[in-house]
A and B are shown apart, each in its own frame.
Chain A
Amino acid sequence: DADVTQTPRNRITKTGKRIMLECSQTKGHDRMYWYRQDPGLGLRLIYYSFDVKDINKGEISDGYSVSRQAQAKFSLSLESAIPNQTALYFCATSDPLSLAGSDTQYFGPGTRLTVL
């Protein structure tokens, strides 16, 4: 969905480096999410934010941190990247009052991160 953008789309980095993945949305949604996807493991929630002042841990938050700079921006940081953080990362937004369906999530195109 072009309304949710992620940068970069691909990133290769080395163990121990600090990495930031950025997500921006023009949908005007208050809720934003970060997921990671590994082959065969589905989507796992890292962090989520229901508004600018609200940040919550998801299923697998260890090794990650987030920043909600504005309603439209939600960044994910890996303070010291390690190889098992190699994955496809998705950002999503949602609106609990969406006419499409309650709390329908809209996903960005994903960021493929490789940690060597």
Chain B
Amino acid sequence: LAKTTQPISMDSYEGQEVNITCSHNNIATNDYITWYQQFPSQGPRFIIQGYKTKVTNEVASLFIPADRKSSTLSLPRVSLSDTAVYYCLVVPVDRDDKIIFGKGTRLHILP
């Protein structure tokens, strides 16, 4: 299963766009890239998933370059309520395998 690497923490300000990059050099052909958000004392919740190029939903955008060795979660115009831990995961879809969350990126939004 591909290991992911992402920054331990990031700070930003309200109204700014925040980009969190994740590297997954050993991603397999049929693996998807998935991001979760976790608030304190709550379980993580799914934000977005993609395979290649760009995916956008009402919460975020996910950019994946052609080589798929990295991905960038983009949060537009963040607010204080976006302060959370963000996890980048590689999800195998063609085999039964466990999913590893890792330590995530602690995002702190300042006023």
Contact = CB atoms under 8 A, between A and B. Distances in A.
Interface in B19-69: 32, 34, 36, 41-46, 48-49
Contacts of B43: 1, 90, 92, 107-110
Interface of A: 1, 35, 40-45, 48, 50, 56, 58-59, 88, 90, 92, 96, 100-110, 112
A56 B32 contact: no
Given A43-B87, A58-B98, A110-B41, A104 B49 contact: yes
A104 B48 CA distance: 10
A101 B43 CA distance: 17
A88 B41 contact: yes
Interface residues of B, number: 23
B95 to A, nearest CB: 10
B34 A96 contact: no
Interface of B: 32, 34, 36, 41-46, 48-49, 85, 87, 91, 93, 96, 98-104
A104 B41 contact: no
Contacts of B36: 105
Contacts of A100: 46
25 contacts: A1-B43, A40-B103, A42-B85, A42-B102, A42-B104, A43-B87, A44-B101, A45-B99, A48-B98, A58-B98, A59-B100, A101-B32, A101-B34, A101-B46, A101-B49, A102-B34, A103-B34, A103-B91, A104-B46, A106-B46, A107-B45, A109-B42, A109-B43, A110-B41, A110-B42
A1 B38 CA distance: 13
A42 B96 CA distance: 23
Contact of B44 (A45, A58, A105, A112): A105
